[in-house]
């Protein structure tokens, strides 16, 4: 059985982040945190 990127554990699995953005770059940073496994 091969593993895909979806099956692999991500560095921020199990971390919950409350995002309150007011600047232009912050929504992008929040997106990156979510891709790393954080619950945003």
List pLDDT tens digits, range 1-40.
566 667 789 999 999 999 888 887 788 889 999 999 999 9
Q: What is the pLDDT of residue 24?
A: 79
Q: What is the pLDDT of residue 21?
A: 83
- Cα→Cα distances 39→11, 14, 32, Å: 12, 7, 11
Q: What is the pLDDT of residue 5?
A: 64
| CA–CA gap between residue 38 and residue 12 (Å, rounded) | 5
Q: What is the pTM of this model?
A: 0.67
Q: What is the pLDDT of residue 32?
A: 93
- Domain range list for the chain: 1-40
């Amino acid at each position: 059985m091969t593993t895909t990127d979806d099956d692999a554990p991500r560095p921020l699995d199990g971390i919950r982040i409350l995002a309150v953005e007011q600047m232009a770059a912050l929504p992008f940073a929040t997106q990156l945190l979510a891709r790393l496994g954080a619950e945003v």
